[in-house]
Amino acid sequence: MWVPPQHVFYKDVFQPLGADLEKATGGRVKFSFLAKAVAAPQGTADAMRDGLADISLIIHGFTPARFPLTKLAEIALLSDSSETLSVAYHRVYEKHFTSANEHKGLKVLAMFTLTPTQIMTKSKPVRSLADLRGTKLRVAGGISADVAGALGSADRDLLEAIRTTSADVERAWLAEAKARGADGAKALADLREEIRRAAR
């Protein structure tokens, strides 16, 4: 795992999953969490395919050209609930996308989305697309980067830095965006209060 032990995916997803699998298999399957990731986030799929890790988390946006069908879940206004969208996304993936074999050599256990994102700025109100022109936004890639690029809002150097980040990803991105003088960010709604504190 490339996320730190305090991350929700580590402590609330993978640790309980490991415990459940050990129990269900009578101890025949054991989870071992490595002290260090076997690959940077963008190399996780290859590391698993090559047998360096048995299970991990893939962020498709880190390698956008490799998993183009996964951009479907990033389309704006599909849902205001990550749970609802995740269930729908997984069903669409199983019914329509498995035949495309984008995850060749891997077994996909679940497809899911995160909390819907919002555009947040430190001072400039955004009431229309025109308000975004020339605004320097931190975006994570995928459709967000495509849209921001079309609007002239994406910081391309920052996008490259984001693709190589391997620490506590979302917070590191926000710190980097602030350090580069970004006017705002497209970020998880859950981080709204943290972003407000950081902007002060």
List the single range of 32-46, 94-108, 118-132, 166-180 with lowest mean pLDDT.
166-180
- Read out DSSP for 67-78? -GGGGGGGSTTS
Rounded Cα–Cα distance for residues 55 and 44 (Å):
9
Residue 76 banded pLDDT, cuts 50, 70, 90 = confident
Strands 184-188, 137-138: pairing is parallel
Question: Quick one: pLDDT at residue 95?
Answer: 94
Phi, psi angles (nearest 5°) of residue 154 = -80, 135
List the single range of 55-69, 137-151, 179-193 with lowest mean pLDDT.
179-193
Extended beta strands in 73-178, E state = 117-121, 137-138
Question: Quick one: pLDDT at residue 170?
Answer: 54
Residue 186 banded pLDDT, cuts 50, 70, 90 = low
Domain ranges (residues) in the chain: 8-100, 117-199
Question: Quick one: pLDDT at residue 178?
Answer: 67
